Amino acid sequence: MKVCIKGAAEDVKLGDIQDVCLDFDRILLATDGSEPAILATQYAVTMAKTFGASIKAIYVDDGVEALQLPEEIEADDTWEGYHPSVKGLGVAKVMCERNGVECEIEIIQGGVTKRIIRTAEAYGADLIVLGETGRTGLKRLGMGSIAETVLRGAPMPVLVCKAE
């Protein structure tokens, strides 16, 4: 990722500011098929289309189920019996294809936040995009927020999308 202006506002010379020049080449999209994740998918595809970037869409299976992708992705009846999280990858793939965005999809095994960050690093992602389910109270204390943990732990920018 190329960034033209760096530093705090007090260090920036106003005369040096030109056109903005953030440039994204690779976007990692983490999806679980939820409403916020589908919104995140739309943001990721829009940004990839705008910047000419590619997307790697992943679902991290925490080991509860051994999930696999169907061979045919575009037909709705293909998804019967598949976990909704896996269908989120299909939504990402089809959305990318229909918008001229290069995309690969993968189911990854392991701890969710660590695998998102490690996959982003291995992919060379300039940006991570994911949804926030908006857990509050005891659910948040007990399970934590994946989006918040990724945001704190990732070495690259993270875009968190909340459903309305």
Position 116 in a domain: yes
Top mean-pLDDT range of 63-72, 77-86, 148-157: 148-157
Lowest mean pLDDT of 54-68, 127-141, 144-158, name the range. 127-141
Average pLDDT of the residues in 146-159: 93
Position 117 in a domain: yes
- Number of domains making up the chain: 1
Position 85 in a domain: yes
104 CB neighbour count, 10 Å cutoff: 14
Q: CB-based contacts of 125: which residues, under 8 Å, 6+ apart?
A: 26, 27, 28, 56, 156
Position 39 in a domain: yes
- Report CA Rg, the chain: 17
73 — pLDDT class (breaks 50, 70, 90): low
> Could you tell me which residue, 160 or 145, shows the higher pLDDT?
160
pLDDT in tens, 30-50: 999 999 999 999 999 999 999
Position 127 in a domain: yes
Position 11 in a domain: no
Backbone angles phi and psi of 134, in degrees to 5:
80, 35
Residue span of the structural domain in which 57 resides: 24-162
For position 139, which CATH number holds? 3.40.50.620
Average pLDDT of the residues in 49-63: 92
| pTM of this structure | 0.82
52 — pLDDT class (breaks 50, 70, 90): very high
Position 8 in a domain: no
Position 37 in a domain: yes
> Could you tell me which residue, 32 or 20, shows the higher pLDDT?
32
pLDDT in tens, 74-126: 555 555 666 778 889 989 999 999 999 999 999 998 899 999 999 999 999 99
